[in-house]
Structure 1
Amino acid sequence: MYGWIWRHLPGNTWIRALISLLLVLVVVYVLFQYVFPWAEPLLPFNDVTVNN
């Protein structure tokens, strides 16, 4: 998959590396802003019970 993306990016190696970095940053931004907040109520990480 990464090879396919790399081959389809325009420019030389430095431009491709810059575009790849920007793509990674966009994916991380989308995950933190939209996907993780949507999925948080569905995950059981906040269901903490303490027994006496």
Structure 2
Amino acid sequence: MYAWIWRRLPGTWQTKTAIALGLLVAIAVLLWYVAFPWIEPKVQFDHGVVQDPAPSGSATPG
């Protein structure tokens, strides 16, 4: 698949490399700013309950 994409890109290998890097950056930006914020409320990875072992304001002998 990657060879097929590489053959379809225009220009010399330097141009192909620049275009491929530009496409990679564009896809990463699209994922980072559009896809991930959209999907974040739908996944429950970090919604666990964390209990503090020594809550502030607790009475500890001094």
Same fold (TM over 0.5): yes
Residue 26 of structure 1 corresponds to 26
Q: What is the TM-score of this pair, normalised by structure 2?
A: 0.75
Identity, % of aligned pairs?
A: 38
Query: Over the residues paired in the alignment, what is the CA RMSD in angstroms?
Result: 1.4
1:40 and 2:33 correspond: no
Structure 1 runs of 4+ aligned residues shifted over 2 Å read none
In the aligned structure 1, how far is the partner of 2:50 from the partner of 2:24? 40
Bigger helix fraction? 1
Runs of 5+ unmatched residues, structure 1: none
Please give the TM-score of this superposition, normalised by the length of structure 1: 0.88
